[in-house]
């Protein structure tokens, strides 16, 4: 299994707009995506008020590639979030299990 960690920092003042997108679009979309075993959404804390993260466990690299394409190391960006996000990172790991 593959663990994919997606983190974003919003533009100043766009936190509420991104939070709406995150809860209404991104989280439901990932929960419904074939090949996703689990998701763990993270929302801002007082010391990081513009940072959101989404940890996804994928059943395989092939399942992830079927969703995002061969260039899976690049963040998959929904057009609705493009103007809300100042910075994004994506990381992948082999899932060690729980």
**Predicted pLDDT of residue 63:** 95
**Predicted pLDDT of residue 21:** 94
Largest CA distance in the chain: 37
Torsion, Cα 95 79 8 32, to 10 degrees, reads -30
- Which residue is associated with the tokens 């533009």? 11
Domain enclosing residue 28, as ranges: 2-94
Q: Which tokens in the block code for residue 21?
A: 């997108």
What is d(CA 8, CA 25) in angstroms, rounded to the nearest whole number? 15
How many domains are contained in the chain? Answer: 1
What is d(CA 41, CA 29) in angstroms, rounded to the nearest whole number? 12
The CATH number covering residue 15 comes to 3.30.70.100
Whole-structure pTM over 0.85, yes or no?
A: yes
What is d(CA 92, CA 8) in angstroms, rounded to the nearest whole number? 15
**Predicted pLDDT of residue 82:** 85
Q: From first to last of the 98 residues of the chain, give the pLDDT tens digit.
A: 999 999 999 999 999 999 999 999 999 999 999 999 999 999 999 999 999 999 999 999 999 999 999 998 888 777 888 899 999 999 999 999 76
């Amino acid at each position: 299994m593959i663990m994919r960690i997606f983190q974003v920092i919003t533009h100043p003042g766009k936190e509420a707009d991104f939070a709406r997108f995150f809860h209404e679009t991104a989280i439901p979309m990932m929960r419904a995506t074939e090949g996703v075993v689990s998701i763990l959404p993270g929302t801002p804390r007082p010391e990081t008020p513009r940072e959101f993260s989404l940890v996804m466990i994928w059943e395989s690299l092939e399942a992830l590639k079927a969703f995002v394409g061969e260039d899976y190391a690049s963040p998959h960006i929904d057009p609705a979030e493009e103007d809300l996000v100042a910075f994004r990172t994506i990381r992948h790991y082999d899932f060690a299990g729980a």
